[in-house]
Amino acid sequence: METITVGADPAAAAKLGLGADAATPSLVQRIHRARWGAAALLLTALTAAVLATAGPVRPALAAIGHMRWGFLPGLVLLSLLHYVCSAVALRGAAGRPLPLVRTTMTQLTASAANRVTPGGLGAAAVNTRYLVCRGLPLPRAAVAVAVLQVAGVPADLLLMGAVVGLGAVLAPGAGNDRMLDALGHHASRAAGLVPPLPLLVAGGVLLPAAVLWGRRAVRSTAARSAAAGLADLCRRPRDLAVTLAASAGTTLVLGVAFALSVLAVPGTAVGPAMAPALLAAYLVGAAAGSAVPTPGGVGSTEAALVAALAALGIAAGPALHAVLLFRAVTFWAPVPLGLLACRTLRR
């Protein structure tokens, strides 16, 4: 692939069909401004999250010296394994043998982009760009990324069923019943807080609008392309199995890391028998936190995970310590690696 450096002869850029403006230094300035703007937004989000939880953070920092630091290497390895599983899932959805190391580096960069964009839009853009650079046409790359997002839903549901089932068989009563009872209690309580008449009126207005919007969305070009991509993936059983297994693996690895984070905090007073319940707590808390469209789920995910641990009978202070440790290792620590990986991939 022929490339030119920014600031080179405009004639070379014109020969490649890029136009004279592609080789001007103003492009470099715009790129640098966009990069610094993203960094400033990330710093602002981090500062806001810290200030919002300044009260609870102080005792959490004071408890650092009492943590079981022997769990830290395992947390780091699980965090890295999460990105390897994400790379394998992308390879399966793309349907071609992508280099594992570079694809893993791309997932680190995608995670850094997700820290400043809601709903996984940053990761989708990075993965689409990476697949285009690897030779996939843009429509097929976008469909592959969309299929990867869709495949994560059934994979997580299957994982949830397996975790709850194994917990009921291997460790009956070790927190699993409390988690299910807490979910049922909160669901019934939320239903009781909604007045029936306004609910019926809102349903009569919103339901037809949702049906009309859904019909238009299903008939859209993007929906047809995603359906065609999903059908193509189903015609490749091996790639389908790899995509589903790797998608579930990314969630399972983070769930295990969450369980280790809870075990690393002495005040939680939990043992290995609680591992299935902790996995279920992570799946429920992560799903609830991702429902709020904030960049990276900052704030909402932490609150949901603490609430899930509270449903297991863990005190609020130790639960917050465990969640902060988990998010620090698996969420914030990979950001510098993602920025470095971005520079390497651009070269």
Residues of 303-337 as b/e, b for ≥16 C-beta within 10 angstroms? Answer: bbbbbbbebbebeebbbbbbbbbbbebbbeebbeb
Looking at residues 29-40, what average pLDDT do you find? 50
What share of the chain has pLDDT > 70, as a percent? 59
Q: On the CB side of 232, how many CA atoms lie within 13 Å of its CA?
A: 16
Please give the C-alpha separations between residue 324 and each of 53, 187, 262, 318, in angstroms, as whole numbers.
11, 26, 10, 10
The radius of gyration of the chain's CA atoms, rounded to the nearest angstrom, is: 23
Average pLDDT, rounded, for the chain: 74
8-state DSSP, 345: H
| Mean pLDDT lowest among 66-80, 206-220, 306-320 | 206-220
Determine the pLDDT at residue 139.
84
Reduced to 3 states (helix: H, G, I; strand: E, B; else coil), residue 9 is coil
Residues of 92-104 as b/e, b for ≥16 C-beta within 10 angstroms? Answer: bbbbeebeeeebb
CB–CB of 74/91 below 8 Å? no
Reduced to 3 states (helix: H, G, I; strand: E, B; else coil), residue 123 is helix
Please give the C-alpha separations between residue 331 and each of 104, 108, 172, 337, in angstroms, as whole numbers.
16, 11, 32, 11
Determine the pLDDT at residue 290.
73
CB-based burial of residue 243 (10 Å sphere; 0-12 exposed, 13-18 middle, 19+ buried)? buried
Residue 31 has pLDDT above 50, yes or no: no
Residue 10 has pLDDT above 50, yes or no: no
Determine the pLDDT at residue 61.
55
Reduced to 3 states (helix: H, G, I; strand: E, B; else coil), residue 134 is coil
Which pLDDT band holds residue 43 (cuts at 50, 70, 90)?
low
**Highest mean pLDDT of the ranges 15-24, 106-115, 177-186:** 106-115
Q: What is the pLDDT of residues 74-130, one digit of tens each?
A: 999 999 999 999 999 999 999 888 999 999 999 999 988 888 777 678 888 999 999
Locate 123 and state its tokens: 């990761």
Which pLDDT band holds residue 273 (cuts at 50, 70, 90)?
confident
Determine the pLDDT at residue 2.
38
Angle among Cα 25, 31, 33 to the nearest 5 degrees reads 105
Determine the pLDDT at residue 316.
85
Looking at residues 128-146, what average pLDDT do you find? 89
**Highest mean pLDDT of the ranges 45-59, 183-197, 205-219, 229-243:** 229-243
CB–CB of 239/246 below 8 Å? no
Query: Which amino acid makes up residue 85?
Result: C
| Mean pLDDT lowest among 43-47, 134-138, 324-328, 336-340 | 43-47
Determine the pLDDT at residue 246.
93
Locate 188 and state its tokens: 């019934």
Closest CA to 246 of 140, 36, 39, 92: 92
Ordered alpha helix ranges (H), 96-220: 100-114, 121-133, 138-170, 176-193, 196-219
Residue 194 has pLDDT above 70, yes or no: no
Displacement of CA 308 from its chain's centroid (Å): 18
Query: Which amino acid makes up residue 7?
Result: G
Determine the pLDDT at residue 314.
86
Residue 204 has pLDDT above 60, yes or no: yes
Locate 104 and state its tokens: 């893993």
Determine the pLDDT at residue 1.
39
Determine the pLDDT at residue 143.
85
User: Cβ neighbours of residue 23 under 8 Å, at least 6 residues apart?
Assistant: 4, 6, 7, 8, 9, 10, 12, 13
Locate 49 and state its tokens: 């999250």
| Mean pLDDT lowest among 61-70, 78-87, 173-182 | 173-182
Q: What is the pLDDT of residues 297-322, one digit of tens each?
A: 677 788 888 888 888 888 888 888 89
Looking at residues 151-175, what average pLDDT do you find? 71
